[in-house]
Amino acid sequence: MTWPLYSFLLLGLAFGWLSFSHRHLFSEGMTRPDPADTGRNRWPARLGWLALCTLLWPLLMLTGVAGALLRRR
């Protein structure tokens, strides 16, 4: 019973790691990354994004698809 839970968490970590540079596309805000977000303090932001994605990656994928459809229009 634990392998589905571990696979869910690992998929969430992989999604968070791969989507960190595109995380601005998963919100209701800007469609461009914040220029002040680059620099030396990326690790706290990356850890926060990984923590969020680990448990909420299915919802983030749905919002990313919905946002892509809206931008395409």
- pTM over cut 0.85: no
Task: Examine the pLDDT at 1 and tell me if it is beyond 80.
Answer: no
Average pLDDT over residues 57-63: 89
pLDDT in tens, 7-55: 999 999 999 899 888 877 776 555 566 665 666 667 888 888 899 899 9
What CA–CA distance (Å, rounded) separates 35 from 17?
Answer: 20
User: How many residues are listed for the chain in this entry?
Assistant: 73
Q: What is the pLDDT of residue 37?
A: 60
Q: What is the pLDDT of residue 30?
A: 55
What CA–CA distance (Å, rounded) separates 64 from 16?
Answer: 13
